[in-house]
Amino acid sequence: KAGVTQTPRYLIKTRGQQVTLSCSPISGHRSVSWYQQTPGQGLQFLFEYFSETQRNKGNFPGRFSGRQFSNSRSEMNVSTLELGDSALYLCASSLGLGQGNHSPLHFGNGTRLTVT
Amino acid sequence: AQSVTQLGSHVSVSEGALVLLRCNYSSSVPPYLFWYVQYPNQGLQLLLKYTSAATLVKGINGFEAEFKKSETSFHLTKPSAHMSDAAEYFCAVSLSPEIQGAQKLVFGQGTRLTINP
């Protein structure tokens, strides 16, 4: 079974631009989460989608947005990029079903975004 | 609020020695705890998880962790370190979902494990 696939692996953008990152979950997984990883702040939760609906959101500004398609693939978008947005962006998928669900997250290898 | 604290941002051990990575949690409800490992230029890989079924949890690659409620700890151990264990390790707690099935992990700051030959 193929793992979580994130594209592109590396991205260089200029301050003020916008960027879209893509994530394909493991087949059968309906939940997709996004995390930002930086040396200073560590791993921080961005948002989670399930069946094309955002179920959970972290404490990030509105410049960060996402969506999920009917095939569970997800994209996240960052508008008006700032230098501080430079980070590794990780996508994770899980089954996402059931009350109190704590099924493990399966992570992709991430997209490393550099803002200059 | 639920959180995790990893004691020691860097740990160095000799090959064949015991590995001990410390994690303490803060939670007002029974926690769901995880250990993940991250190799350079890769994403996170699940080592093991605690979901209240057993206090001693065995994971992959010879790692295990023991849940101790009285100490609010979930330390990760491996009896004999191997060079391939060099990586960064993250402890995480799963927040109680407000929405059925919703997932959100809060991670510790990570511990970088170095293995000396």
Question: Mean pLDDT in each 10-residue stretch from start to end of chain A (116 residues)?
Answer: 92 98 94 94 93 90 97 97 97 74 84 98
A76 close to A65: Cβ distance less than 8 angstroms: yes
Query: How confident is the model over B57-73, as a mean pLDDT?
Result: 94
* pLDDT reported for residue A102: 65
Q: Which two tokens stand for residue B5?
A: 């604290």
What residues does A37 pair with on adjacent strands? A43, A88
Using CA coordinates, name the residue in chain A closest to B35.
A104
Using CA coordinates, name the residue in chain A closest to B90.
A43
Residues found in chain B: 117
**Could you tell me the pLDDT band of residue B2, with boundaries at 50, 70 and 90?**
confident
* pLDDT reported for residue A104: 81
Alpha carbons A7 and A106: distance in angstroms, whole number:
16
Do residue B43 and residue A109 have CB atoms under 8 angstroms apart? Answer: yes
Which chain B residues have a beta carbon less than 8 Å from that of A106? 46
DSSP chain A: ----EEE-SEEEE-TT--EEEEEEPPTT--EEEEEEEETTTEEEEEEEEETTEEEEE-S--TTEEEEE-TTS-EEEEE-S--GGG-EEEEEEEE---STT--PPPEE---EEEEE-
Shortest Cα distance, chain B CAs vs residue A71, angstroms: 19
Residues found in chain A: 116
Which chain B residues have a beta carbon less than 8 Å from that of A31? 101, 103
* Beta carbons within 8 Å of B69's beta carbon, 6+ residues apart: none
- Could you say which of A50, A55, A105 has the minimum Cβ distance to residue B105? A105
Chain B interface test: which of A5, A49, A102, A106 (most B C-beta within 10 Å): A102
Shortest Cα distance, chain A CAs vs residue B80, angstroms: 26
* pLDDT reported for residue B111: 97
A104 close to B46: Cβ distance less than 8 angstroms: yes
Phi, psi of B75 (to 5 degrees): -75, 145
A115 close to A103: Cβ distance less than 8 angstroms: no
* pLDDT reported for residue B101: 56
Identify the weakest region by mean pLDDT among B48-52, B60-64, B108-112.
B48-52
Coil/strand/helix, residue B67: strand
Residue B100 sits at the chain A interface (C-beta within 8 Å): yes
* pLDDT reported for residue A109: 96
* pLDDT reported for residue B102: 60
Residue B105 sits at the chain A interface (C-beta within 8 Å): yes
Do residue B102 and residue A48 have CB atoms under 8 angstroms apart? Answer: yes
**Could you tell me the pLDDT band of residue B51, with boundaries at 50, 70 and 90?**
confident
Residue B72 sits at the chain A interface (C-beta within 8 Å): no
* pLDDT reported for residue B41: 85
* pLDDT reported for residue A7: 97
